[in-house]
Amino acid sequence: MGKVAAKIKVMPQSPDVDLDELQERLESALPEGAKINGVERENVAFGLVALYPTVIVPDGSGGTEGVEETFSEVEGVESVGVENVGRI
């Protein structure tokens, strides 16, 4: 079984959300077998900054769905979307 790398866009609920704490909560919420391999930040607008974690998951059934679901339940997250997916 191979692995998949997915770049996921995570939008915080507001510019007031502490991005370092949000990043830690995302790492803690990862499903078993998944890991974050770097996080980029990008200014969106009006002080709002999106996080772009690259998540490595096993290439099995469900793909990135488990990660997307757990990320969307993390406190401070407004929305989650997959930007790019590739096999490694």
Q: What pLDDT shows up at residue 21?
A: 97
* In the chain, domain spans: 3-87
Q: What pLDDT shows up at residue 2?
A: 86
Closest CA to 86 of 27, 3, 4, 1: 4
Q: What pLDDT shows up at residue 58?
A: 87
| DSSP-based three-state secondary structure for 76 | coil
Report the topology of domain 3-87: Alpha-Beta Plaits (3.30.70)
Q: What pLDDT shows up at residue 39?
A: 97
Q: What pLDDT shows up at residue 36?
A: 95
Residue spans of the chain under pLDDT 70? 1, 61
Please say whether the beta carbons of 56 and 35 come within 8 A.
Answer: yes
Q: What pLDDT shows up at residue 61?
A: 60
